[in-house]
Structure 1
Amino acid sequence: MAARMMGMPVGDAASTMLGAALSPGAAALADATVNFFLVALMWVVMMVGMMMPSAAPTILLFSALERKRTATDRIASFVAGYFAIWSAFSIAAAAAQTVLSHTGLISMQMATTSAVLGGTVFIAAGLFEFTPLKERCLVHCRSPLEWIPRHMRPGQLGAFRMGVEHGAYCVGCCWALMLLLFVGGVMNLIWVAFLATIVLVQKVLPGGVTLARFAGVVLVVCGIALLARPLIFA
């Protein structure tokens, strides 16, 4: 994918033959489709890596309750449902990245090239930390012991639906923080690990709502500083 972005030849014999067999328009569409698939796949893998640590307590609790109440193994269905909703988010994020790439607002390192856009995303993510939606979703993610027994559904499909529902709360809690990947760089592993740590701290440590609001203040301040930087150094 990096080679494609830099304009380097990446085709093998099969892709060369395919390109020769297609019209220029069809070949361009096929290439764009492959690129989008790669970007979406990258986002899916990244979301799994970032969210698994904070989702682990809920998954382990579901596993423990399942072993006590039934011999059926539904843990995989629950996890699949959880990451199905994050996969949908990944496709949306890949679409946003594609648009930003075509408008020149994202660099080769997949980070925004606009201080205004970066500062705006920081401020928006910070303000979201104070919203009732953030608090509701975060409280849900922090209290799986209250939610799982009350929403237990039978069968593999039921476990999958539970995973989807829990994943929807998780996306509602963290989507704004995930947008910060466009600012620090989607391929910046240190930035990815930093954001994953923020999510983990908010969901696991005591006082998660307070920690979220503290993070919100820091994000807003960073956003204001980023917006002011071009003015100061103009």
Structure 2
Amino acid sequence: MAASPLETVLTRDRLLVAASLAGLCLVSWLFLVHLALQMEAMDGMAGRMMGMDVEDALSARLAAAMGPAAAALADAAVNFTLVTLMWAVMMVGMMLPSAAPTILLFAALERKRAAEGRIGGRTAAFVAGYLAIWSVFSIVAAAAQTVLAHAGLVSMHLAATSTMLAGAIFIAAGLYELTPLKDRCLTHCRSPIEWLPRHIRPGRLGALRMGVEHGAYCVGCCWVLMLLLFVGGVMNLIWVAALAAIVLVQKLLPGGPILSRFTGAALVACGFALLAVPLLPV
């Protein structure tokens, strides 16, 4: 039996949403690989994220036009913007795979609404809500990175220079995995089929708000795990992929909450092991 025109359109829409999510994730990872390769090429130059020669030329022109103080402020603003961009792209690459089932489920619900003549374009607004809350987290993470870098607590590869700091981050991340807040956020992330119908809001603005709210649970579930990037290195792609895999398994696979408990215990143990390193006899 041939598919109706409506079924054909809905199938095409489903494939478009899935392909868009996959493409966005792929572009994010390619950008991260590009940044990682640039950092390797700049291995003897501290404190830059990308475009070293371009930034130096820009700084020189700014200093000539604005004066040293204003130029330094503008250069710091540019660097902070680039670091924020890096974190935002990394969040998309790490979090989008685990958020994709929720987005696809929302899109499926919207296809039914569209068949009933409801307003369209809400799936894009829902995804924009996710991106907005992830961007807010990226700004906070970029600020933390800037402070740690200025204090000399992270290297140019953006990994902790102190085993004490690394141990403390491991312990904090592990303890958070065992908290009720983690459980609550993980439950909402793992049960979108229950969350979405209870929080449906009309219009594109309502869909945007839904994306922000569910994205907040996404960040609440994983934000302390993201701090582990300061231990293994923000641009250590193997470390980034490993953390993304933990997030994916916790949110999507059976036994995710149990894995969260084991992850927390393992992180706490690793943290105490790192704190014990300076105390060991040489």
Shorter chain as denominator, the TM-score bin is over 0.9
Percent of paired sites with the same residue: 71
- Segments of 5+ residues of structure 1 without an aligned counterpart are none
Deviations 1:47-69 (A, max 9, x none): 00000110000000000010011
Give the letter aligned to residue 102 of structure 1.
H
Determine the C-alpha separation between the residues in 1 that align with 2:153 and 2:62.
31
State TM-score, norm by structure 1: 0.95
Determine the C-alpha separation between the residues in 1 that align with 2:274 and 2:69.
40
Determine the C-alpha separation between the residues in 2 that align with 1:102 and 1:219.
27
Match of 2:46 in 1: 5
Deviations 1:77-123 (A, max 9, x none): 10010111110000000000000000000001000101001000001
Could you tell me whether the CA contact under 8 Å between 2:80 and 2:146 is conserved in 1?
yes
SS at match of 1:57: helix
Q: How does 1:56-135 map to 2 (within 5 A)?
A: 56-70=100-114, 72-135=120-183
Deviation for aligned residue 1:11 = 3.9
Provide the alpha-carbon RMSD of the alignment: 1.7
Match of 2:209 in 1: 161
Determine the C-alpha separation between the residues in 2 that align with 1:115 and 1:190.
20
Determine the C-alpha separation between the residues in 2 that align with 1:221 and 1:31.
41
Determine the C-alpha separation between the residues in 1 that align with 2:123 and 2:241.
26
Q: Determine if the alignment matches structure 1 residue 191 to structure 2 residue 276.
A: no
Which of 224, 231, 234 is equivalent to 2:279?
231
Deviation for aligned residue 1:208 = 1.6
Q: Determine if the alignment matches structure 1 residue 27 to structure 2 residue 68.
A: no
Q: Determine if the alignment matches structure 1 residue 149 to structure 2 residue 197.
A: yes
Which of 188, 195, 206 is equivalent to 1:140?
188
Give the letter aligned to residue 151 of structure 2.
T
SS at match of 2:244: helix
For the structure 1 residues 154 and 126, does the alpha-carbon distance in structure 2 shift closer, same or farther, using more than 3 Å as the test?
same
Runs of 4+ aligned structure 1 residues displaced above 6 Å come to none
For the structure 1 residues 26 and 140, does the alpha-carbon distance in structure 2 shift closer, same or farther, using more than 3 Å as the test?
same
Q: Which structure: larger Rg? A: 2
Deviations 1:151-193 (A, max 9, x none): 1111110000000000111111101100101111000000000
Match of 2:265 in 1: 217
Deviation for aligned residue 1:13 = 5.7
Determine the C-alpha separation between the residues in 1 that align with 2:229 and 2:168.
13
Bigger RCO of structures 1 and 2 (CA < 8 A, at least 6 apart): 1
Determine the C-alpha separation between the residues in 1 that align with 2:272 and 2:80.
33
Which of 48, 56, 61 is equivalent to 1:17?
61
For the structure 1 residues 26 and 195, does the alpha-carbon distance in structure 2 shift closer, same or farther, using more than 3 Å as the test?
same
